[in-house]
Structure 1
Amino acid sequence: MKWSQFFNTSIGKKLLVGATGLFLCSFVLVHLAGNFQLLYKDEGKAFNAYAQFMGHNSLIQFIAWGLKIVILLHAFIAIQLTFSNRAARPVKYAVNPGNATSSWFSRQMAVMGSILFIFIVVHLAQLWGKFHYGEMPTKTYEGMTEPLKDLYAVTYQLFENPIVVLIYVIGMIGLSFHLIHGFKSACQTFGLNHKKYNGIINFIGVWVFGIAIPVGFAIIPVLIYFNR
């Protein structure tokens, strides 16, 4: 079987969803580390320098565009799998099996994934799009010869709006539910589900990706709002 044919099968699609999902898991770790620089009391110097590097380094930009393609691919294939599974079982069970056949998280993946995808589009439009293609103030810091785009000030201004803060918190709830199931599911897809490793996989999936990372993202706009 050709590779193109293999990735058109259900198993091939699940492998693609798992691989792209694990790649996105690594991205959120890096992104969160960069975002924490918004909390530094340095008038945005560290965060704006970070944004300048991430926004203009050729290698980083290549990876960033690849990341956007991965997000779209991940969402597209996941939707395909959802509809394929429904088509394979056109008649619903007379009695809902509930937790007997799947976890609550797995049954909500389509909903939470949709919430997360909408949030990503809004987030990119509000900050990434404005940074690269819109008008943005600049700021020159001591020891620097050229001004930096002041994404720090734009972000703080954005999070002065409680509705925006609420949208970001809801988006992170969607991320949390998505990661709790997604990380474990990806590990199962690649055959890592074993009683010897399940404990650490569940710990990383729930407490690191499912709780710590989304809470870390959500707490940034909340702290900015209450300390403005």
Structure 2
Amino acid sequence: MKWSQFFNTSIGKKLLVGATGFFLCSFVLVHLAGNLQLLKDDDGKAFNTYAAFMGHNSLIQFIAWGLKIVILLHAYVAIQLTFSNRAARPVKYAVNPGNQTSSWFSRQMAIMGSILFIFIVIHLVQFWGQFHYGQISTKTYEGVAEPLKDLYWLSYDVFKHGLFVVIYVIAMIALSFHLIHGFKSACQTFGLNHKKYNGLLSFIGIWVFGVAIPIGFAIIPVVIYFK
């Protein structure tokens, strides 16, 4: 069987969603580490230096464009799986089996994924688009060779509006649910579940990706709004 044919099968699509999901999990860790620098009381030096490095390093930019492709691929294949699963079960159950067949998280993945996709588009327009194509003021820092685009100020300007803070927090709630189920499903797809490691994997999936990371992201706009 050719690779193109394999990835058209249900198993192939699940592997593709799982692999791209793991990649996106690693991305949110790195992205959070960088974004937390917005909370440093240094007039934006740390965050703007980080943003400049991420925005101009050739390798990072290559990975960034790859990330956008991965997000689209992840969403597209996940939607395909959702519709194919529904088509395979065209007649609704007389009684909702609830947790007997799937967790609450799995039944909300399409909704949470849609919320996240809309948020990502808004987020890219507000920050990535402005950084690369908008008119952003620059700031000079001691010890830094050249003026840096002030993405720090742009972030504070966006999050002084309560509406955007609420949108961001709602998106992080969706991210939490999406990561909890997604991490668990990816582990199952790749056969990583084992009684020796299930406790650790459950801890990572729920408390690291499902709780700590979304809270870390959500804290940033809330702190900025009240700062």
State TM-score, norm by structure 2.
Answer: 0.99
Give the gaps of 5 or more residues in structure 2. Answer: none
For 1:145 and 1:212, the matched residues in 2 are separated by 35
Provide the residue aligned with 1:97 in structure 2: 97
Is 1:224 aligned to 2:224, yes or no?
yes
User: Residue in 1 aligned with 2:72?
Assistant: 72
What corresponds to 1:49 in structure 2? 49
Corresponding residue SS for 2:91 = coil
| Distance across 1 between alignment mates of 2:185 and 2:25 | 13
2:123 aligned partner: 123
> Partner of 2:150 in structure 1?
150
Aligned-pair distance for 1:189? Answer: 0.1
Paired letter, 2:52? Q
**Alpha-carbon displacement from aligned partner over 1:185-225 (angstroms, at most 9, x marks no partner):** 00000001122211111110000000000000000000011
Query: Partner letter of residue 215 of structure 2?
Result: V
Distance 1:194 1:101 in 2: 21
**SS of residue matched to 1:43:** coil
**Distance in 1, Cα, partners of 2:184 & 2:88:** 24
Identity of aligned residues (%): 82
- The 5 A counterparts of 1:184-195 are 184-195=184-195
Superposed CA offset, 1:120-174 (max 9, x none):
1110010010000111011011123311000000100110000000000001001
Partner in structure 1 of residue 200 of structure 2: 200
Which residue number corresponds to residue 165 of structure 1? 165
**What CA distance in whole angstroms lies between the structure 2 residues aligned with 1:56 and 1:171?**
28
How many angstroms apart in 1 are the aligned matches of 2:95 and 2:56? 55
Partner of 1:13: 13
* Partners of 1:40 and 1:31 in 2: CA distance: 16
Mapped to 1, the partners of 2:45 and 2:81 lie a distance apart of: 44
How many Å separate the matches in 2 of 1:102 and 1:196? 23
- Listed as ranges, the matches of 1:79-90 within 5 Å are 79-90=79-90
Question: Residue 80 of structure 1 aligns to a residue in which SS?
Answer: helix
Instruction: For residues 61-87 of structure 1, give each alpha carbon's deviation from its aligned partner in whole angstroms, at most 9, with x where no partner exists.
Output: 000000000000000000000000001
Paired with 1:4 and 1:211, the residues of 2 have a C-alpha distance of 36
Mapped to 2, the partners of 1:53 and 1:223 lie a distance apart of 25
Q: Secondary structure at the match of 1:131?
A: helix
Task: Give the letter aligned to residue 71 of structure 1.
Answer: I
